[in-house]
Amino acid sequence: MNTAELNSESIPTPESDAGMLRVQTRFGEFEADARNLLCFPVGLPGFEQCRRFVVLSSITMAPVQCLHAIDGPPASFLVVDPRLVLPEYRCILSGPDKERLGAADDQPLLWLAVVTVQEDNHAAVNLRAPIVINPARMIGFQVMPYDSLYPVRFPI
């Protein structure tokens, strides 16, 4: 699906989602402004039914945040800015990925890496397939940047 196929019903708007949401996750309870809902038009791999998410933050979790599904099956992901884990982290989006996000070349985007906690309680982040969000359109996708040399599990 490209951005031209999106209709106004699939993108949350301040008028349609005004108010505060109380969100219960496995990481704790949060309050979120419904105007900050993000649309993931194709969901996330393995969670394709989850189309609306919110990024939740708390002082006690910083700099880690929680990407939480508002609809579909229960889904919460710990995420972090990949440049906090690896300061030299840089990825280039393909033309089709920029088009899907509705992003101009000079437009700032929010990059998030999914954090996983291993059975031995060591954590790693997925630097190969980041989640990229266009805050101007409130649309996000998980992408595989062209020629990415980053690992799927980068230890932190």
- Dump the DSSP string for 53-104: EEEE--TTTTT-EEEEESSSS--EEEEE-HHHH-TT------HHHHHHHT--
Whole-angstrom CA distances from 91 to 7, 23, 74 are: 29, 32, 30
Residue 143 tokens read as 């992408």
Whether the pLDDT of residue 100 is over 90: the answer is yes
Provide φ and ψ at 68, rounded to 5°: -120, 130
Confidence tier at 9 by pLDDT (50, 70, 90): very low
How much of the chain exceeds pLDDT 70, in percent? 88
Question: Six-digit token pair at 129?
Answer: 């397939």
At the topology level, CATH places domain 3-155 in: BH3618-like (2.30.290)
**Is the confidence at residue 115, as pLDDT, over 60?**
yes
